[in-house]
Amino acid sequence: MKSEALKRRPKILVIGDLMLDHYLWGACERISPEAPVQVVNVNKETTVLGGAGNVVNNLEALGSEVFVLSVIGDDEAGKELLEHLAKAGVDCEDFVYENDRKTSKKSRIIAGHQQIVRYDNESKHPITLESETALIVNMKKIIASMDVVILSDYGKGVLTESVTPKLIEVAKKAHKPVLVDPKGSDYSKYAHATMITPNKKEASESSGLVLDSLEQIEKAGFLLKEKLHLQTALITLSEDGIAIFDKSMRIHPTVAQEVFDVTGAGDTVIASLAFALARGENIDDAVIFAN
């Protein structure tokens, strides 16, 4: 079974909040005469996929065949996002559009190596009931051919309290594992998923426990697993590795790295886990690979 999985590209479905990360790069040589602010002379502009799109980037880099479902605005940012997905080889035929929704775009001004300001243009309200229905219908069309489903929640309104359990139910009925990168402190909508992957801070907020010892980490991990009826709970521990909770607790350490920025680390972890599990690895080997 595992050898057969290794011979082909895993098919992984990502559902969640897609966004654009927009950067204006430049240098500051003076202060504005109009206000006590830096004047940045922009010399480069870049845009990349962000949010659940960063999971897509990681899966593509690993060699997965990626499928994406989401709800975006019928706007210029939405068109730009679709162009980036098309360049990555992602089929966007089953996307859902809302006329009054703003596709998330986060713009950052960088002077030298310092981020000066970030401004966001987006909608965060829950998607409509019509969009929820369309999302479910589109998922049912393709779920049979998927190996793994990732729910990438950035709290921008796609993975609502009502649609998330239905997405999990569709995947479970098709016997497809569901990996969740959660958001917020109430994880009840993720109940009956296969696996959840909060970081230490998120697990603390969700469990209501202070994770200042191995005993507390163990207590929180099994609390999440049992409360949400999961097959496995994971807690990422930054430089201390990843803790697994199924029949027992195990912590796999990271390989020492000099890390300057942990932004997007959760996206990389869940993408790596999904890729490894789709190729037939067991959970421990998948976590070692993700680390």
| Per-residue b or e along 222-238, where b marks 16 or more CB atoms closer than 10 Å to that residue's CB | bbbbeebebebbbbbbe
Taking the C-alpha atoms of residue 167 and residue 22, their distance in angstroms, rounded to an integer, is 30
Residues forming the active site: 267
- In this prediction, the residues of the chain whose per-residue pLDDT falls under 50 are 1, 259-262
* Per-residue pLDDT, 101: 97
- 232 close to 218: Cβ distance less than 8 angstroms: no
Dump pLDDT digits (tens) for 142-199: 999 999 999 999 999 999 999 999 999 999 999 999 999 999 999 999 999 999 999 9
Report the Cα 275 to chain-centroid distance in Å: 14
* Per-residue pLDDT, 6: 56
SS3 119: strand
Taking the C-alpha atoms of residue 253 and residue 241, their distance in angstroms, rounded to an integer, is 4
* Per-residue pLDDT, 4: 55
Query: φ, ψ for residue 277 (rounded to 5)?
Result: -65, -35
The closest alpha carbon to 231, from 157, 174, 176, belongs to 176
For residue 146, CA distances in Å to 170, 175, 274 come to 12, 10, 11
Exposure of 283 by Cβ count < 10 A (0-12 exposed, 13-18 middle, 19+ buried)? middle
* Per-residue pLDDT, 118: 95
Taking the C-alpha atoms of residue 189 and residue 54, their distance in angstroms, rounded to an integer, is 23
* Per-residue pLDDT, 259: 46
Strand partners, 244: 234, 250
